Amino acid sequence: MELTLFIIVGAIAVLSAVLMLISQNAVHSALFLVLNFACIAFFFLMLSAAFLAMVQIVVYAGAIMVLFLFVIMLLGAERLYPEQHPRFPWMVPAAVILAMVFLVAVSLAIIQGEVDITERAVAQPYIRVVNAVDQLEAADVYLDGERSASDLGYGEASEFTIWDRGRYDVAVYESGADPDTEAPLTTSKVDLNRGEAISFTAVGTRADPQLVIANEDLSGTDRSDALRVTVVNGMRSVQMIDVVRGTDADESAVLIDDLAYGAASNPTTVDSGLTDLSVFSEGVRRDRLVTFEDRELAPEQGQLWVFSTRYQADNSFEDVFLALETNELPAFGSPAAVGLTLFARYVLPMEMVALVLLVAMIGTLILTKDMVGTRRVVRRRLANPPAELQAPVTPETASHTTIEG
Amino acid sequence: MQPPEVATELFVLLSAILFILGTLGVLLRRNAILVFMSIELMLNAANLALAAFARQWGNLDGQILIFFVMTIAAAEVAVGLALIVAIFRTKKSINIDELHLFRH
């Protein structure tokens, strides 16, 4: 289906380009070019570049083509000059031969280039870091010596950042520690693949921290009354937990089953709404460890749940439930994604492009102004002709007088 | 997300064809406005290839580059058409074969 559409619209695009080239009326050429631009906008939609498709229609097919048509009409140039006497007659065959050579070369490159089209078109890996380590008030986290999070307080999560694919050493340090000289609190090796969103969740205590690699799903749910949850068990005293909706360990209410300490669950879809969440120990004795009452689960957003334990100085402890939002990333090619990339990584090039536009504007003004200036000189000269032109023409002077212009 | 149904190669091939048509227009047409339109066609062909590869790699940089190309094309058209108008006012012609400014 998509291929059929591609072939039809592609044929229209090529046909309109050819008609633009051979059309004798410049206005017709411009209109065929508009058709061609519309086809390109359609291809942008197919290539999940929705924002650019709209910009293509508005800027190219709209503004730029209006400019073209305006100039064609202004100059009265819609009827083209006869082109039967080109100054370079050899140019036609040379251009055609060059074009054919280029087409063959490009086709060969495309066919033999082994572009892997079966690979999924998904984004690079995203990572963030969550600090849920008891008694670690601020943490720095490094990936292969490059800092990905700094001064991360207990219960805080860093923003998602984009990384290249590959194998990384993840190391957690006490905040302010020098990674070159000091030993990390804990390290772990991890493979980052394309399209993954990983929350490195540090749990445990400062003396014995553990790094949990929680794979999250950033795509959001299809349902409007549900959210996607990844659960990390950071309760050191319990080996295995169940997470239950409500307070009874009813089979139907179990959200997450048998989650070991230091493990992360798969992303699970959970109904939204106001609810109590209980944690049961799983094993020989099945106890309700703690209930977190009246938790509002907002729909249409992902969350990372971390259950951990904090010990006080007097050896009492409290169970902590951290619900960290996993913001749904803007879809590939959407205005939000393009804008985010533009402002996050391409501010300087954008400023420079804006400068180029400004220079173009000034250049256009100067081109026009210069013309007006020349005209004024001509007009002044016509009003006050030079003295020799004002002198009466006699037979003697007539042969010497020439009118310059 | 499913693998794309239309292969990247097809988009790049179409982009190459459009680019060559644009090149032919630049080389063969003698009307300056038509030459400019052909340049626009070439820029669009390049944009199409950029969008195809942006989807291929799942990377938005290609789409950002298209954005910049569009901006530069707008600037280029503004200056170019101003030049054409200026030349037309002095030479009364926009046939590029008649524009040999260094021969007077």
Mutate: best of A345, A351, A364, partner B, most B CBs <10 A: A364
Q: Across residues A18-24, what is the average pLDDT?
A: 91
Report residue A361 as tokens.
């504007």
**pLDDT value of position A356:** 93
Greatest mean pLDDT among A10-14, A24-28, A293-297, A308-312 lies in A10-14
For the segment A348-380, what is each residue's pLDDT rounded down to a tens digit?
999 999 999 999 999 998 887 765 556 666 677
Statement to judge: residues A184 and A276 lie in one domain: no
- With vertex at residue B50, the alpha carbon angle to CA B47 and CA B54, rounded to the nearest 5 degrees, is 140
Phi-psi region of A145 (alpha: psi -120 to 50; beta: other; left: phi over 0): left
- Across chain B, mean pLDDT equals 86
Q: How far is B43 from chain A (nearest CA, A)?
A: 11
Q: Across residues A80-105, what is the average pLDDT?
A: 78
For the segment A292-350, what is each residue's pLDDT rounded down to a tens digit?
888 888 776 788 888 888 887 777 788 888 888 876 666 777 888 888 888 878 889 99
In a domain, A170, yes or no: yes
Statement to judge: residues A239 and A282 lie in one domain: yes
Statement to judge: residues A6 and A70 lie in one domain: yes
CATH classification of the domain holding A170: 2.60.40
- Per the CB < 8 A criterion, the answer to whether A20 and A36 are in contact is yes
In a domain, A117, yes or no: no
Distance, in Å, from the CA atom of B21 to the CA atom of A100, rounded to the nearest integer, reads: 10
* The amino acid at A42: F
Statement to judge: residues A229 and A203 lie in one domain: no
Among the partner residues A87, A95, A338, nearest to B28 by beta-carbon distance: A95
- What pLDDT band is residue B1 in, cutting at 50, 70 and 90? very low
Statement to judge: residues A165 and A251 lie in one domain: no
Mutate: best of B10, B41, B65, B89, partner A, most A CBs <10 A: B41
Distance, in Å, from the CA atom of A160 to the CA atom of A145, rounded to the nearest integer, reads: 18
In a domain, A404, yes or no: no
Question: Which of A51-55, A175-179, A390-394, B31-35 is predicted with the least confidence, judged by mean pLDDT?
Answer: A390-394
- Per the CB < 8 A criterion, the answer to whether A328 and A254 are in contact is no
Q: Across residues B6-13, what is the average pLDDT?
A: 85
Statement to judge: residues A199 and A236 lie in one domain: no
Among the partner residues A52, A71, A363, nearest to B33 by beta-carbon distance: A71
In a domain, A94, yes or no: no
In a domain, A203, yes or no: yes
Residue where a domain terminates, one of A300, A328, A356: A328
Q: Across residues A17-24, what is the average pLDDT?
A: 91
Q: Which domains does chain B have, with CATH numbers?
A: 8-98 (1.10.287.3510)
3-state secondary structure of B29: coil
In a domain, A359, yes or no: no
B63/A71 touch (CB, cutoff 8 Å), yes or no: no
- What pLDDT band is residue A390 in, cutting at 50, 70 and 90? low
- The residue with greater pLDDT, B103 or B67, is B67
**pLDDT value of position A405:** 47
Distance, in Å, from the CA atom of B38 to the CA atom of B31, rounded to the nearest integer, reads: 11
Strands (DSSP E) contained in A81-176 are: 126-131, 138-143, 146-153, 161-162, 166-174
Statement to judge: residues A179 and A201 lie in one domain: yes
CATH classification of the domain holding A44: 1.20.120.1200
3-state secondary structure of B58: coil
Q: Is the pLDDT score of A117 beyond 60? A: no
Handedness of CA A297, A303, A305, A311 (dihedral sign): negative
Q: How far is B102 from chain A (nearest CA, A)?
A: 16
Statement to judge: residues A156 and A207 lie in one domain: yes
In a domain, A102, yes or no: no
Domain that holds residue A323: 224-328
Distance, in Å, from the CA atom of B16 to the CA atom of B24, rounded to the nearest integer, reads: 12
A81/B56 touch (CB, cutoff 8 Å), yes or no: no
Structural domain count, chain A? 3
In a domain, A87, yes or no: no
Strand partners, A142: A147, A171
Distance, in Å, from the CA atom of A395 to the CA atom of A288, rounded to the nearest integer, reads: 125
* Beta-strand relationship, A302-311 and A226-234: parallel
Entry field: residues in chain A: 405
* The amino acid at B47: N
**pLDDT value of position A86:** 65
Statement to judge: residues A16 and A51 lie in one domain: yes
